[in-house]
Amino acid sequence: MWNFRVTTIWGIPIKVNISLLIFLPVLAWLISSTAQIEVYAAIVSGLSGTQLDLARLQAGSTPWLIGAAAAVGLFASVALHELGHSYAAMRYGLETESITLWILGGLASFKTMPREWNREFWIAVAGPITSILVGLACYGALLALPASATVTLFVVGWLAVTNVVLAVFNMLPAFPMDGGRVLRALLARNRPYASATRIAARIGTGFAVLFAVVGVLSFSPLLLLLALFIYGAATGESRTVALADLLAGLTVGDVARPATATIEADARVEELVDRMFADRTTEFTVTDGGEVVGVVTVRDFRALSQAERQADTVADLMETDLPRFEETMEAFDALVALDTGGASAALVDGPSGTRVVSREDFSSAMEMRRLVGESGPF
């Protein structure tokens, strides 16, 4: 939401989130503060062997120029970091849907995530390696620049230091940060992928709590935001992997139920209510001339008055804009599509006709898998 596409590299859309546009001036202001300039001027002077002129760096509007250049350079570095991940993924034939720059850095969205531990390992470390290389390139430029280029020396030196810090920070085992993904990859060498994800996610949530405590004590809103992000992403990915494991090997055709509880589209809602009580079911497949055309549930008529129930037909209430899946589609992919579309159910087409699948069907399938412990289809 609120992402703006700025360019495309290697066919990958590079997007900027509105949170970054709001944060950039704040970041520029923080970098341009007297304390920051003094600290980094000393560091850059040590790295370059040239004593930077503090008075020149702090004269007039120069601090704002430094802050703006450094802030933009930082997020350009973050984009290169994410492109490092994307390049490694491309080497394995994996597609990157987009790279989004936002207030906490960058996010590379992959179409599919590899489960092979060595692939995930190299994709994860490619980002920090890229940041180290960018830092070394900035350091090389720092040594090559003339001593008179005070402002440029400061910005390039600041980027050299910041890229190394970025690489080191990202290697913390706070899943789903790069270090956390490296940890999961190493754990997955000798244990199931879901188990490795659970362990990495628990460690990630531990780091989230640590960041939150430090954020409160140091009055750092960014650390609190990072803590929330890590906690939500770690628990979310752990849940997703668990669902994928429970649905592994199943197609949506295995999960879909036959359209046994059916009602005609031209039936009155009152008749639907009577059928629901009689059949002890809260969801019906709607047919029109024997063809499945939609789904109706108890939620669809709950707010209707008695007069409306007598006057309206099932066709007036039923959900018709349901997604349609081929029965050979993988069950997990179908569940993701169902959630993404916000639909309560979907129609499943196959040689034997059209059937219906709902979230409850996926839940039942996963519960059966968990209880029985079998990996095959039903």
Per-residue confidence (pLDDT) for residue 131, from 0 to 100: 95
Let me know whether 265 and 215 are in one domain.
Answer: no
For residue 129, what are the domain limits? 3-247
Q: What is the pLDDT of residue 54?
A: 84
What pLDDT, on the 0 to 100 scale, is given for residue 213? Answer: 93
My answer on whether 239 and 259 are in the same domain is no
Does any domain span residue 377? Answer: no
Same domain, 67 and 194: yes
Write down how long the chain is. 378
Let me know whether 257 and 316 are in one domain. Answer: yes
- Which of 220, 247, 274 lies at the terminal end of a domain, its last residue? 247
Q: How far is Cα 295 from Cα 319, in angstroms, rounded to an integer? A: 5
Residues in the chain, pLDDT under 50? 378
pLDDT of residue 332: 80
Domain boundary among 247, 267, 294: 247
Instruction: Give pLDDT, residue 8.
Output: 92
pLDDT in tens, 250-296: 888 888 776 666 777 777 777 777 777 776 776 777 777 667 766 77
One domain, residues 71 and 161: yes
* Domain-terminating residue out of 231, 247, 263: 247
Give residue 127's region: left, alpha or beta (phi > 0; psi -120 to 50): alpha
| Whole-number pLDDT of residue 313 | 73
Q: What total number of domains does the chain contain? A: 2
Statement to judge: residues 62 and 182 lie in one domain: yes
Same domain as 128, residue 235 = yes
CATH code of the domain covering residue 311? 3.10.580.10
